[in-house]
């Protein structure tokens, strides 16, 4: 996919005014973290979700080993359009959510010994994969992995690239030859503090990648 067509997902949003500023950039996806151990855990849900989202911007709920019914309740209450699963969720859990009409993205942390074959059992129950770096937290560690490993990916499921992506990676991203790369997930490297994004920096990145 040409980088001008790459989808942009900004994850870990937390503050209403900051979200309003972000929406001016018309990102394709905005992620909200429903994991209490995360510093980006969203506690003011109703205030945040009263924001008017552009039609083409999808709201993503990020969960870690959460009960399926709890996730479905959040989806209904807050109008989420995608669920991003960052724990040890099984293909069956993914399928239950997909059967409920949701777009499902399953995240995996990629290290040098990562076995891409394990993804095969998820291929029919997920819409997207997200490949993140290994680290102490389920996500938002601010480090990247060796993107050369993604050349070992052979499935048809499109994926998002995540993990420590920063301004310095724009040209490297534009040079990637990965047929199933669908989008870029931005988080900690664009933060003033956890959950609060530097909108000008995000604007420069989006313009740089799509320019």
Structure tokens at 71: 């996730």
pLDDT-derived band at 121, boundaries 50, 70, 90: very high
**What is the structure's pLDDT at 136?**
58
Token pair 């099984």 in the structure block, residue: 90
**What is the structure's pLDDT at 46?**
74
Check residues 47 and 169 and name the one with the higher pLDDT: 169
Asked whether residue 139 carries a pLDDT value surpassing 60, the answer given is no
pLDDT per position as a tens digit, 39-76: 999 987 877 877 778 889 999 999 999 999 999 999 99
Average pLDDT over residues 7-36: 95
Contact 146, 172 (CB under 8 A): no
CATH 3.40.718.10 fits 3-210, yes or no: no
| H helix intervals, 122-175 | 170-175
What 8-state DSSP symbol labels residue 117? G
Contact 103, 128 (CB under 8 A): yes
Q: What angle do CA 83, 119, 145 make, to 5 degrees?
A: 80
Structure tokens at 210: 């799509």
How many CB atoms neighbour CB 160 within 10 A? 23
């Amino acid at each position: 996919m040409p980088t001008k067509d790459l989808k942009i997902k900004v994850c870990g949003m937390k503050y209403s005014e900051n979200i309003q500023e972000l929406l001016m950039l018309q990102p394709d996806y905005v992620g909200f973290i429903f994991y209490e151990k995360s510093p980006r855990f969203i506690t003011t849900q109703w205030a945040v979700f009263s924001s008017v989202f552009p039609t083409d911007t999808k709201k993503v709920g990020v969960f870690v080993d959460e009960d399926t019914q709890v996730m479905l309740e959040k989806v209904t209450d807050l109008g989420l359009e995608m669920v991003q699963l960052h724990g040890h969720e099984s293909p069956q859990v993914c399928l239950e959510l997909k059967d409920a009409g949701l777009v499902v993205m399953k995240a995996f942390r990629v290290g040098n010994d990562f076995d891409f074959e394990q993804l095969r059992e998820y291929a029919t129950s997920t819409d997207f994969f997200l490949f993140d770096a290994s680290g102490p937290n389920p996500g938002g560690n601010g480090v990247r992995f060796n993107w050369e490993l993604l050349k070992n990916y052979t499935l048809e499921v499109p994926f998002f690239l995540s993990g420590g992506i920063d301004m310095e990676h724009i040209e490297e991203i534009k040079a990637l030859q990965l047929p199933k790369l669908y989008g870029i997930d931005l988080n900690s490297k664009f933060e003033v503090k956890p959950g609060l994004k530097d909108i000008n920096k995000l604007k420069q990145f989006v313009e740089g990648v799509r320019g």
